Amino acid sequence: KKNSSLKDSVKIFLGKIDDYDQSFLNGELFGVNGRNSNTGQAIDNSFIKEEPIPWNKNRFYTLPADDPRIMWDKENVIAVRVYDQGGAGGMFSGIPSIKMVDLSDYLKCDNAGSPFNFKNSEIGKSFSLRNISALYTIKGKFIIKAESKLNGKILLEKSADIELKPESTKNFSYLFNGKNQPSRIEYIFRYDNSDDESVFSDEAPYILTPAISKKPKINGAKVYGQRPGKPFLFTIAATGERPLTFKAINLPAGLRIDEKTGIITGSISEEGIYKIKLKAENKFGSAESDLKIYIGDKIALTPPMGWNSWNVWGLTVDQEKVLASAKVYKQKGLLNHGWTYINIDDGWEIVGDSPLPKRTPDGNIICNSKFPDMKALGDSIHALGLKFGIYSSPGPLTCGGYTASYQHEVNDAQSYSNWGIDYLKYDWCSYGAIAKDNSIPELMKPYLVMRDALRNVDRDIVFSLCQYGMGKVWEWGDKVDGNLWRTTGDITDTWQSLSEIGFSQVENANYAGPGNWNDPDMLVVGWVGWGPNLHPTRLTPDEQYTHISLWSLLSAPLLIGCDLTRLDEFTLNLLTNDEVIALDQDPLGKQATPKMIKGNIQYWIKELEDGQKAIGIFNLGSGTEKVELN
């Protein structure tokens, strides 16, 4: 206190808490869930549930320096009571500390919450500095500095003398030539009459995907599988200015093409390999590409590419949100790059503890009020040339506590078929209480039951197993008809989660191939949130490039998990790089493996159908490194 510049308050930092806290100083409550508490505030033992749950929020508390709860010049004791409603629980992320409040505590920069904007080859943003003190004026020099992450070149540096009166705000904006390279921006405030400075920082998004040409180009999978006699739906993915005219040469009997949309429908009853040539034409030129159609037992010959509602909407998904996503596929051209599925995750059934009936007297599942007409929704999705996916669990309840398929598998498969479902993600939740043990036969059992039910309906349904890799699912997933299987727990939008999952996909590599894919979980780029409150992914632009590149090398299913109606230019660039997507969709279906690891640098290699190899070089460290590849 003696040496501090301002002498009026004390700041206590406790890191983050999973989920709720009550924090005590010398036996007296001083903070709850990140909010200061007055002396004598009653303790609420119910641990009032707040929304959003404060689990990832910093716990900063401030007390007046003369607060009677502080015992100056004596030993003080802080006790933290944590209430965790599930998961690991506890205090994490950040070293607890105590300090006197100084001017830096009153200076707020909203850079992290302000979006970047591209303007031709430049990038920049508008943001503000705010003095939240009601008493003090903040004076100093403010510097904005952008540096290339590749070569350290300074791309922008400007500074100004700033005076911020109490409770005032100043707006700033900048632009620099950085659209095509990674850069780091620092906002440095040097306080007058002191050695202190505050540093805020950003990493700017940058665009690597080449601009789309007006000339036609055919993208997407070069192989496609369907079972004999089952409804066929394949949409030619092609970029180029509309209108485009599509043709398919050597199309087998039973199939027809809509020349305006490139949607091929019908069915083929004869097993076999059908080689066709696809064509797309407009006033700027024409493009051709080969497609091999395999009519046989295997489907999902390339990793499924689509959108799933979970990472964005969680249990708050509804029909409008699903349909809006499908429309964006067309508006923003995602379907021109091979994006196909629109999948509803958990939250469409009747919740387990609802008094409403969950099934009809015949045992058919009833959708909740957010999904008034599943069949009509499926029809709208198919009309766009897209495919329709859904979610369930083998236990009585889904992971979100909604009605699941236990003992109604045949009914449910039939309902899916009636609605036009093309893809089923089948979880494990609540089946744990039914399985006798963790043996492989017990792990396989519920999936065999659903497999038989799916095999008996009159359409192909891609079968996605979601049991987090238990019992090395990759070793037996194919035996239960699994087309893809989750290999890990749920991903979240942090580098820790992404890198731990992505770079550990090694043991399962040999089990990936046409019709069978290891699923390291869905993509966490764009606006995500697992519920009604969304935020831009917490991954930096470089981490996002790593995410998409690694998943593509791994031949992983690519399931976008963001709000497509808020797709920004950077995220769209990540999702539409045809060269990268082509690696994921390569017909050989080989998963990349790490061939060399040197310190922070990992070299992953994927064999391709044409004999070439794709190489991914990843820097897992936090600084720029120069590597040589011979």
Contact 589, 339 (CB under 8 A): no
Residue 400 CB, shortest distance to ligand GLA, in Å, is 4
* Omega before residue 243 within 30° of 0, cis: yes
Q: Are 425 and 404 in contact (CB under 8 A)?
A: no
The residue (of 102 and 427) whose beta carbon lies closer to ligand GLA is: 427
Counting contacts by CB under 6 A, is residue 584 touching ligand GLA? no
CB of 427 to ligand GLA, least distance (A): 5
**Does residue 348 interact with ligand GLA by CB under 6 A?**
no
DSSP line for 20-88:
EEEEEETTEEEEETTEE--TTPPP-TT----SS-GGGSEEEEEEETT-TT--TTS---EEEEEE-SSSS
Minimum separation from the CB atom of position 600 to ligand GLA (A): 30
Identified catalytic residue from 412, 427, 460, 563: 427
Dihedral pair phi/psi, residue 10, rounded to 5°: -115, 140
CA distance 560 to 277: 29
Identify residues 424-443 at the interface with ligand GLA (CB under 6 A): 427
Token look-up 């083998």 returns: 394
Judged by CB under 6 A, which of 322, 328, 399, 524 binds ligand GLA? 399
Figure out which of the listed residues 400, 477, 526, 541 binds ligand GLA, where binding follows CB under 6 A.
400
Under rule CB under 6 A, residue 466 binds ligand GLA: yes
Interhelix angle 409-419/440-455, rounded to 10 degrees, is: 40
Of 96, 79, 82, whose CA–CA distance to 30 is shortest? Answer: 79
- Whose Cβ is closer to ligand GLA: residue 219's or residue 308's? 308
Is position 575 an interface residue for ligand GLA (rule: CB under 6 A)?
Answer: no
Residue 345 in the binding site for ligand GLA (CB under 6 A): yes
Helix (H, G, I), strand (E, B) or coil at 319: helix
Cα dihedral 536, 538, 541, 543 sign: negative
Provide the phi-psi class of 120: left if phi over 0, else alpha when psi is between -120 and 50, else beta.
left
Q: How far is the CB of 530 from ligand GLA (least distance, A)?
A: 9
Place of tokens 């004791």: 77
Residues 521-550 that bind ligand GLA (CB under 6 A): none
Instruction: Give how far Cα 462 sits from Cα of 255, 300, 407, 459, Å.
Output: 21, 7, 21, 10
State which residue, 346 or 481, has the beta carbon closest to ligand GLA. 346
Question: C-beta of 531: minimal distance to ligand GLA in Å?
Answer: 11
Give the whole-angstrom CA distance, residue 341 versus residue 14. 44
User: Considering the rule CB under 6 A, would residue 493 count as an interface residue with ligand GLA?
Assistant: no
* Residue reference for tokens 């009747």: 350
Count the site residues for ligand GLA by CB under 6 A: 10
Stretch touching ligand GLA by CB under 6 A, among 10-18, 57-65, 285-293, 394-402: 394-402
Distance CA 470, CA 345 (A): 21
Min dist CB 310 to ligand GLA, Å, is 5
Question: Which of the ranges 62-70, 298-306, 332-340, 393-401 carries the binding residues for ligand GLA, by CB under 6 A?
Answer: 393-401
Output 218 or 399, the one with its CB closest to ligand GLA: 399
Q: How far is the CB of 560 from ligand GLA (least distance, A)?
A: 14
Q: Is 67 an active-site residue?
A: no
Q: Where is 202: in which H helix or E strand?
A: strand 197-204
**Active site (annotated) includes residue 427:** yes
Q: Which of 196, 490, 542, 568 is catalytic?
A: 490
Phi, psi of 467 (to 5 degrees): -125, 25
Is the CB of 294 or the CB of 426 nearer to ligand GLA?
426
Q: Would the CA dihedral through 505, 511, 513, 519 be positive or negative?
A: negative
State which residue, 281 or 422, has the beta carbon closest to ligand GLA: 422
Interface residue with ligand GLA among 102, 281, 318, 346 (CB under 6 A) is: 346
Residue 127 Cβ, how far from ligand GLA at the closest point, in Å?
34
Query: Judged by CB under 6 A, does residue 490 bind ligand GLA?
Result: yes
The CA distance from 328 to 347, in Å, is 22
Q: What is the x/- site pattern for ligand GLA, positions 291-330, by CB under 6 A?
A: -------------------x--------------------
The site for ligand GLA (CB under 6 A) is made up of: 310, 345-346, 391, 398-400, 427, 466, 490
The catalytic residues are: 427, 490
